[in-house]
Amino acid sequence: MNKRETIINKALDITSEKGWHALTLLDVAKGCDMRFSELLEWFQDKTDLLVGYGRILDAQTTEDMKGQIDPDLPVKDILFDVLMMRIDLISERRDAVVSILRAMKCEPVSGLIVFPHLAHSMRYMLDISGCSIAGMRGHMAVLALGFAYLQALRVWVNDDSVDLSKTMAALDKNLGYFEKAGF
């Protein structure tokens, strides 16, 4: 694990304990046994931590899906598998991610800052699914996939089932809209 990942993981650990609202960069620096000024060389604010976590998720999802994608399946099914892999990864940090998602409702500016990075992540998810779409249609596909993913996360926050059946149903339903829109 590199230093960037160590810092992000410490931030997620602290978020699991104290909640996203209570997390400070000073807490993260102390938790990593580093000077605050050193931490600021890596992350300037909490949204930077979220962007970094998103990049980790992108890389891990891409790595975990290698060799698992059947190009003969419908795009909807491939996207379902890819996004569920991503949800499985965030489930490993469930307490922290739930705290972050709930805080975003009260911190719309953070959501606005993070949204373009979520859009990049959704573009990567489309790419690894073999569903690369260019131009305006591609932008619409990214937004539609982001909507499907966020709707699934909304259900995931309250889905306490072991198999995440409610989350899977929500994702499947919203990917159905994605499919009906012709993507």
What angle in degrees, to the nearest 10, is found between the helix axes of 46-65 and 108-128?
A: 20
pLDDT tens per residue across span 124-143:
999 999 887 889 999 999 99
Tens-digit pLDDT profile for residues 89-117: 999 999 999 999 999 888 888 878 888 99
Sign, Cα dihedral of 17, 164, 113, 63: positive
pLDDT at res. 183: 78
Tell me how far apart the alpha carbons of residues 94 and 44 are, in angstroms, rounded to a whole number.
24
Q: For residue 165, what pLDDT is reported?
A: 97
pLDDT at 18 over 90: yes
pLDDT of residue 140: 93
Residue 112: its pLDDT value, please? 84
Q: Do residues 131 and 141 lie in contact, with contact meaning Cβ atoms separated by under 8 Å? A: yes
Q: What is the mean pLDDT of residues 84-90?
A: 97
The CATH class, in words, for 45-180 is mainly alpha
Q: Is the pLDDT of residue 15 over 80?
A: yes
Q: Where are the domains of the chain?
A: 45-180
Residue type, 71: P
| pLDDT confidence bin for 118, thresholds 50/70/90 | very high
156 CB contacts (<8 Å, ≥6 apart)? 87, 90, 91, 164, 166, 167, 170
Of 113, 137, 125, which is closest to residue 83 (Cα–Cα)?
Answer: 125
pLDDT tens for 20-32 read 999 999 999 999 9
Spatial distance between the Cα atoms of 54 and 50, rounded to a whole number of angstroms: 6
Q: SS3 for the chain, per residue?
A: CCHHHHHHHHHHHHHHHHCCCCCCHHHHHHHCCCCHHHHHHHCCCHHHHHHHHHHHHHHHHHHHHCCCCCCCCCHHHHHHHHHHHHHHHHHCCHHHHHHHHHHHHHCHHHHHHHHHHHHHHHHHHHHHCCCCCCHHHHHHHHHHHHHHHHHHHHHHCCCCCCCCHHHHHHHHHHHHHHHHCCC
